[in-house]
Structure 1
């Protein structure tokens, strides 16, 4: 089921029962309250795929505690631009159990301080955000012990400049990571350190793929970037590096 450009205010008066619905896509859908969105998901007990883009909530949630069990959910794509903090916590709880493939795009104010769960079954993660928030990505990776594929789609248009000095990335084992990809690479110090972090900690890495940003001024600049990348030490003995325009 796909819903787009609608307001679901009527959910305040009706129950939801969609016992066979396995795919739900919501695009620019407005809910009067957070609880109405919870009601919709509770009515989809066998949901396997969930896509949320620009879901809007007019009010804060009416209740401070909620439970949501989406045990069949395996694929999720979530954009966080307009979500309340309680919604963000709800989504992470909802997808933390059995989801194997997750795409996330979010605004700069999203943090992971309130995520208690581990994404034990998550195999593929794709994120789209400003590269200056790498520390939040590393924090999120702590919750993904079985991750095999990591794709970073760096948002070069909206990435703000860092507001504070950032600390070196701490070592975190990426024991199962086999594939890493970064898009819109421009050769910044932060990007280089993220790639160095992956090469150092992903002992099973098979493929490292980097797409250069189209805004790079010349081949000379790209040659300099390649030279910097070639100096990074790697732990994996079977890693193939692909640099693509």
Structure 2
């Protein structure tokens, strides 16, 4: 039995030809729905199932062409397919489909690349009012996408993965584009990049992955409709003394979700994002230009002062140590109620973390995904406890500590939290395998934490 939409179809086996007859009786809309989950090369093969299906495949709404699949399905005893086989197949499918619209069109050319043919196929998809376009093009020479792409009236989702410069014509207008995903592309200059973003008046989600900004000094991403922004920055491996500082300014008054991952060689300045609810910042440990990286992290965090949920991973907090006097420019995160630390706490991190928590006066939930590194040494008389963040004492209600090793520093840290947290309701500790494998030590750790004098009489300590 199958329920699709509000129509119910019951398939029963009443004889040897029952399955074939039932398939033949399915409406075209149901057949199209089934075929939308199958690679296009296999969709074409369904023509042999019955006369009814002979031409149905020519009007399917989803087309997926991937030249790497031609190699994947070949045996060692056969010669690899020629480029013309793939090109001719794509051309045949598009030429036989008539005037019906295309809902989703994916073209992946990792093995073969024929610029004129690819240009023609993309133009054909645009002519068929495609709504979702996914292009993965590994090019050998400079390649310019067809001009018709950049003035499509029907595109709602566009994904481009292309290892070359992204060049545009003078006119760019995507009146319906809501999702834009760009990967590996090189932006030619400041003007063309700004032209692209300003040509998307209803854009809601923007993702930039491993893009090159080598030729650009200033970028402005301005969109009042943007809600989700993800930047995965490509590491810079050029000479240390060569400047590679591109200023990326973000104006997005309705942004709700922001994620940045990578080595911040670019200076990202978040100017107008007061509506951001969730933010994820992941920065690797800087080996060079530590002060510069630290200052860039400070600038990035400055623009997220209104965030409610913040996830910082890898060495984001640690990089603040290298920012020097810049760290005083950190804002007060008045709205921040949940902070996740998806990183191993290192020696440099613990002090920086305490300073950062002082900027979070209303924090209610603190999450550690990893335990303390072996180089961390925390004792009850350490100076870090002399200026305990007020949020720990008066606001913190939930503390989660994963990968708990049960070493002295971790026990001391949690005991101090328990002793000073007046409103703490729950401390959830997830132990590592080595601790679980030592029952005697496990028992001692539980007793040390469960018998500590707690300022919050209602706090429950759980182990898992």
TM over 0.5, shorter chain: yes
Instruction: Specify which of 111, 119, 127 is matched with residue 333 of structure 2.
Output: 119
Matched residues, number: 232
What residue number does 2:231 align with? 26
| Structure (1 or 2) with the larger CA radius of gyration | 2
Using the alignment, how far apart are the partners of 1:164 and 1:240 within structure 2? 23
Matches within 5 A, 1:100-139: 100-107=308-315, 108-111=318-321, 113-132=327-346, 133-139=349-355
**Where do 1:150-229 residues align within 5 Å?**
150-154=366-370, 159=373, 161-162=375-376, 167=383, 169-170=385-386, 171-173=388-390, 174=392, 175-216=394-435, 217-229=437-449
Return the TM-score normalized by structure 1: 0.81
Alignment partner, residue 255 of structure 2 = 47
Structure 2 match to 1:87? 296
Give the superposed CA RMSD.
Answer: 2.9
The secondary structure found in structure 1 opposite 2:350 is helix
Higher relative contact order, structure no. (Cα contacts within 8 Å, ≥ 6 residues apart): 1
- 2:278 corresponding residue in structure 1: 75
Q: 1:150 to 1:26 in 2, by over 3 A?
A: same
Q: How does 1:4-23 map to 2 (within 5 A)?
A: 5-7=183-185, 9-10=187-188, 12-13=190-191, 14-15=193-194, 16-17=197-198, 18-23=223-228
- Unaligned stretches of 5+ residues in structure 1: none
Structure 2's unaligned 5+ residue stretches are: 1-178, 199-222, 237-243, 287-292
**Are 1:230 and 2:443 an aligned pair?**
no
> Which runs of at least 4 in structure 1 moved beyond 6 Å after TM superposition?
none
Give the TM-score normalised by structure 2: 0.45
Q: 1:151 deviation in Å?
A: 0.5
